[in-house]
Every structure is written in C-alpha cells, then in structure tokens.
Amino acid sequence: MQWTWFHKFASPKWFYQITGKILPFLAWLTFFLLVIGLVLGLGYAPADAKQGNSFRIIYIHVPSNFLALAGYFLMAIAGAIGLIWRIKLAFWVMKCAAPIGIVFTLVGLLTGSLWGKPTWGSFWVWDARGTSMLILLFLYVGVYSLGRSFHSANSGEKASAFLAIVGTVNIPIIYKSVDWWFTLHQRATIKFTSAPSMHPDMFYPLLIMIVGFYLLYAVVLMLAVRAEILVRERKTNWVRTLVLK
C-alpha cells in the first residue's frame, strides 16, 4: 500500500493550497444551507403543540450541541494523530479546534438557557444534559489554556493533546455519572416532554441546519488552520513568496 497520500495530507503547503480551492465553494454551500434551514425553520415549520414558537430555538441549539461534542472528539483524534505520527499539521488542527469548540458549546448553553426561561421558568436547571455540556465547556477551556501556557509552542501542543485524549476517555464516565446524579436528585416539577417523533415539516429544516452547521464548522476550522499555517511556516520560502506576492 502506498502511504504517499498520507504524508501529502500532512504537508502544510499542500493543505493550504487544497483548502484554498475548496473554501469558496464550501462557504457558499454553507451560506445557502444555513439560510434555507433558518427560513424554513423559523418561518414555515409549524409551531409546537405544547411549547408554541419557543421550540424554534432547536434549529440553533441542537446543531451547535452536536458540533460541540463532535468537535471535542475531532480535537482529541487530531491530537492523537499528531502524537502517534508526529504530524505538526494535526497539532495545529487540534489547537484551532479548541476555541471553535468553546464557541459552539457556549452557543449551545446560551440557547438552551434562553429556551429554558419560557419553558421551565428559569434560565438554568441542573439537568443531566445541561450539566454535561457545562463540563464539556470546562474540558475545552482546560485544553485551550494548557496549550497556551508553555514557552515553546510545540510542548504546549503535546501537553494539550494528551489532555484532550484523557478527557475523551473521561467523557463517557462523566456523562454517565452526571446522568446518575440527576436521577438521584431529580425534582418532580421538571419533566422532559420530547415527542417520540417529529413532524417532517419540523424535522427537515433541522436536518438542513445540522448539515449546514457541520459545513460551517469545517469552513471555520479550515480558515483558522490556514491562518495558523501562515504564522508557523512564516520562515519557509513558499509562505514568503505567497505573502510578498
């Protein structure tokens, strides 16, 4: 088996060039998907029988929570690839994924609490899912700040890659324990009324938004990694000619 493709992918120059070609197309696709999803979701989807119009926040809330969790695994896997095959590009992907993940987790938490106010009567309820997302935010912040507290950027990246992997091992345990804690301290007044199946008119906009958010994540991550490549490879010839051109 030829492994040249693998090493080609690990080259920052190749990554910079190929993403430069993909990005415009991807950015427009993301834009259209998000616009279509938002218009359908906010304007045309029927109002929920119990929650009225406040349910429409799921078109932001659910996709950003998806990406918050998926982004953590992407970050940890990128860190593991960097550690195992010593690929600097993978470390940069990991480094750039941390702040993006923080933003998506924050958006998920904020939209959740905005939805909680009319639905549950308070901005924050210590339920299992909300608490798990809060701890996910803390894990992200740890990886982010550990990577930026070393004098040499390389050792900071290695340390935060290890932390991301340790966090990944812990995520199922944390999630299960929080779940268990919630059932122990459950209040009777709060009920999770989720319909077993959504109406298709509600569901398709959500699906479009989820795909759109995945693409948005990819676009933002590519932009961040491209910027990181330019900074870290600033002494190479190809970056010099590119910038001075």
Partner 1 sequence: MIFATKENLFISYLKRDLVVSFRGKSASLNPLIFFVMIVLLMPLSLGSYSLALQKVAPGIIWIMALLSVLLSAGSIFDEDYNDGSLEQMIITPNLLFLPLLGKMTAHWISKSLPIAITAPFLGLFLPMPENALIPLLVGLIIGTACFTLLGSIGAALTVPTKDKSFLLALIILPLYVPIIIFGSSVIYYMADGMNWRYPLAALSSIFCILVVLSPLAISGIFRSSMIE
| Nearest-approach distance from CB 90 to partner 1, in angstroms | 14
Residue listed under structure tokens 């699906």: 207
CB nearer to partner 1: pick between 83 and 222? 83
Whether residue 177 contacts residue 135, with contact meaning beta carbons closer than 8 Å, is answered with no
56: left (phi over 0), alpha (psi -120 to 50) or beta: alpha
Q: Rule CB under 8 A: is residue 212 a binding residue for partner 1?
A: no
Contacts with partner 1 in 52-111 (CB under 8 A)? 83
Indicate which single residue of 49, 184, 188, 243 sits in contact with partner 1 (rule: CB under 8 A). Answer: 184
Amino acid, single-letter form, for residue 241:
T
Name the 3-class secondary structure at 1. Answer: coil
Burial class (CB in 10 A: 0-12, 13-18, 19+), 177: middle
- DSSP calls for 153-191: HHHHHHHHHHHHHHHHHHHHHHHHHHHHHHHHS--TT--
CB nearer to partner 1: pick between 139 and 239? 139
| Nearest-approach distance from CB 173 to partner 1, in angstroms | 5
Binding mask 112-151 for partner 1 (x = CB under 8 A): -----------------------x--xx-xxx-xx--xxx
Indicate which single residue of 67, 102, 163, 222 sits in contact with partner 1 (rule: CB under 8 A). Answer: 163
Residues that bind partner 1 (CB under 8 A): 83, 135, 138-139, 141-143, 145-146, 149-152, 154-155, 158-159, 162-163, 165-167, 169-170, 173-174, 176-178, 180-181, 184
